[in-house]
A and B are shown apart, each in its own frame.
Chain A
Amino acid sequence: MTTSWAMKRGVGVTSILFWIVLALLPLIGFVSESSSFDYYMFMGQSMLIYAIAVLGLNLLIGFNGQISLGHSAFFALGAYTAAILMNFGGWPYWATLPIAAVVCFAAGLLFGFPALKLEGHYLALATFTLAIAVPQLLKYKAIAGWTGGVGGVLLDKPDPPEWTRLSPDQWLYYVCLAAAILLFWVVFNLLRSRNGRALMAVRDHSMAASTMGIDLARYKTIAFGISAGITGVAGGLSAITVAYVAPDSFTLQLSISFLVGLVVGGIASLPGCLVGGVFIVLVQNSAQSISDWMKATFALRYDVPAWAIYGVLLLLLMYFLPAGIAGGFAQARTWWTMRGRRGRQQ
């Protein structure tokens, strides 16, 4: 798999430039007359949030080789942690995020222990069941006082500090961006460290890794914990930006969305996580336009449902671009440079 970028010395100029561009985007709002600018900022928040969730999942699936279909559960846990702290504890929104991370890290560790014994399909199965059971758990009456039961918890959207003169959506975009930069940076460094190489060794050659003295159990559970913690932060951010949490937001479909984002962006690719986040938001919105287009073009009697389009897309990706969009780019670039080199040698 593509690990080449992780072997690079440091953060590339391209990626620093890229993040700077992302940070400059909200400033367009000061010169734009468009009334829908705040809406685009909100979409930006969603994309960043999904990118973080996909990052968490990628750490587990892409870099550590453990499959999870249950990350909607950790996303939900993060969201509810943030919501409950804000609603009952009166916490400021930003302070809830580290707690969400810690709570989800702990939950991930706990789930990581049984996951240890499970490989491949079995792990997928256990996490699949987790994803199905979560909405029911959130509604359970013993905790309904905190979770709001089926009604969920309504929150207030935070106001930006006055000195920034930003709109709430611009401000929240920056909050999401800051979280994203921090988490991507953490994961980036983690992967290049000794521990990171161990994580990937566990994925690629678990038996060889264990003979080398790598404690498989420890690395696998910790990977699960960190992955869940990152996804939990995404959940917390989602609670803050949407200002509402409810059981119907955290179904198996959400897990599948993460998986789609991961596969589309590229397994074991950090830039791919961002691509995946953007993709989830855009495609969910455009699946319907694809459907409308198909209906009109082929004169269908029925609407082609969005999830069928999702499914077909997944299959096609598995055939033609198994390394995702980011992987496809990397391949194209390698092919290009190789061609250049060969040209020079001749």
Chain B
Amino acid sequence: MEFFLQQFAAGLTSGAIYACVALGLVMIYVSTDHINFAQGEMAMFATYLAWAMIDAGLPYWVAFGLTVLVAFAGGFAIQRVILKPLERAPVLALVVSFIALLSIFNAVAGMIWSYTIKQFPSPFPSRDLFGNGLVSVQQLGVVGVTLVMLGLLTAFFRFTTLGLAMRAAAQNADSARLMGVRVSWMLALGWGLAAAIGAIAGMLVAPIVFLDPNMMTGILVYGFAGALVGGIGNPMGAVAGGFIVGVLENLVGSYVIGNELKLTFALIIVIGVLLLKPAGLFGRVIVKRV
């Protein structure tokens, strides 16, 4: 039983990581209607920036704040400079561009910071909470930050005009334009926010998995799975989905299929959800109008 609980707790921690990443994916999806394959690598890159600042002597929270700002500006710039010309391009062109960004960020990070792992400081102590190895303060911190981000995002989308405008821009650009929404800027704003969320996710993840240029590759796959399970258009669902995938992955890995097929398990989740419940467990089904 203790083993089960421990696996469950470990699953929650990885779940929180996936949830963070999933939140960034949802952010881009909600505000631009795209699935960003470079989300993980952008987060990784931002985390390296934070590491460089801390390494240069800045206090943790200053570096944290600066990184979030820089990431926001970076995401914004990526949309304005790189993706703007492709706004009306077919999906394939976008997918190709995301893959291109993924390659570039990964390769450049490796070039600058090398592939040796780096230690990333955590604002939370890794002290045990109850003294039985079940939950550490750090694990709790990650979960907490994820939930706070979720709360802020939900509030932003639900209660602010800007949030509404962003959703409108993504879902029906033409009508939104007629209503006076500056669609193109909304998209850039969405990218900025997603990059900022990604940066926070990266900085939460790095103390646990250690910082290296390939840190996010595996996480991204599970993040996708989480976002899909919860419904990719729904922040709340994505976070729940992230946790579900994290816990399931650990339990299924420990009890059922063994550790060798975990990625296959992620693949099955992705395809299974897309097939059986394309809108996710918590998503609304969108009827396509003809």
Query: A residues bordering B, Cβ < 8 Å?
Result: 61, 67, 69, 114, 117-118, 120-122, 124-126, 128-130, 132-133, 136-137, 139-141, 207, 256, 259, 263, 267, 302-308, 310-315, 318-319, 322
| B47 shortest CB reach to chain A, Å | 19
27 contacts between A and B (CB under 8 A): A114-B274, A120-B91, A122-B278, A126-B270, A128-B37, A128-B224, A132-B218, A132-B267, A133-B264, A136-B264, A259-B96, A302-B111, A303-B111, A304-B111, A305-B110, A308-B107, A311-B99, A311-B101, A312-B100, A315-B82, A315-B97, A315-B100, A315-B101, A318-B96, A318-B100, A319-B85, A319-B86
- Which residue of A67, A310, A322 contacts B103 across the interface (Cβ within 8 Å)? A310
Judge if B56 is at the interface, Cβ distance under 8 Å. Answer: no
Is the CB–CB distance between B224 and A125 below 8 Å?
A: yes
Q: How far is the CB of A71 from chain B (nearest CB, A)?
A: 13
Distance (Å) between the CB of B285 and the closest chain A CB?
12
Give the docked Cα–Cα distance between A261 and B263 (Å): 27
A318 near B35: Cβ-Cβ < 8 Å: no
User: How many angstroms between the C-alpha atoms of A124 and B266 in the bound complex?
Assistant: 15
Report whether B106 and A307 are in contact in the complex, using a CB–CB cutoff of 8 Å: yes
CA distance A315 to B92 in the complex (A): 12
* Beyond A132-B263, A302-B112, A311-B107, 5 extra complex contacts between A and B, CB < 8 Å: A124-B35, A125-B35, A126-B274, A128-B221, A311-B102
Instruction: Give a binary string over B145-168; 1 marks a CB under 8 Å from any A CB, 0 the rest.
Output: 000000000000000000000000
Q: How far does the alpha carbon of A141 sit from the alpha carbon of B34 in the complex, in Å?
A: 37
- A-B interface, 3 closest residue pairs, ranked by CB to CB distance from nearest: A311-B104, A311-B103, A305-B107
Q: Which residues of A contact B112 (CB under 8 A)?
A: 302
Q: Are A67 and B270 in contact (CB under 8 A)?
A: no
CA distance A199 to B86 in the complex (A): 26
Q: Is the CB of B103 within 8 A of A122?
A: no
A305 in contact with B111 (CB, 8 Å): yes
Q: Give the residues in chain B near A121, CB-CB below 8 Å.
A: 34-35, 91, 94-95
Chain A residues near B108 (CB-CB < 8 A):
305, 308
Within the complex, the shortest CB–CB distance from A25 to chain B, in Å, comes to: 32
Chain A nearest CB, measured from B273 CB (Å): 10
B221-276 residues with Cβ-Cβ distance < 8 A to A are: 221, 224-225, 228, 260-264, 266-267, 270-271, 274-275
B286 contacts the other chain (Cβ, under 8 Å)? no
In the complex, how many angstroms separate the beta carbon of A130 from the nearest chain B beta carbon? 6
Contact B270 A125 (CB under 8 A): yes
- A124 to B92 alpha-carbon distance, docked (Å): 9
Give the distance in Å from the alpha carbon of A308 to the alpha carbon of B41 in the complex.
Answer: 13
Shortest CB distance A155–B (Å): 25
Contact status of A139 and B89, CB under 8 A, knowing A125-B224, A311-B101, A318-B96: no
CA distance A58 to B144 in the complex (A): 46
The answer to whether A129 touches B266 (Cβ under 8 A) is yes
Contact of A129 among B99, B104, B224 (CB under 8 A): B224
Could you give, for residues 38-53 of chain B, a 1 whenever the CB lies within 8 Å of some chain A CB and a 0 otherwise? 0000000000000000
Q: Does B287 contact A (CB under 8 A)?
A: no
CB-based contact A318/B99 at 8 Å: no
Say whether, besides A315-B82, A315-B100, A308 and B111 are in contact (CB < 8 Å). yes
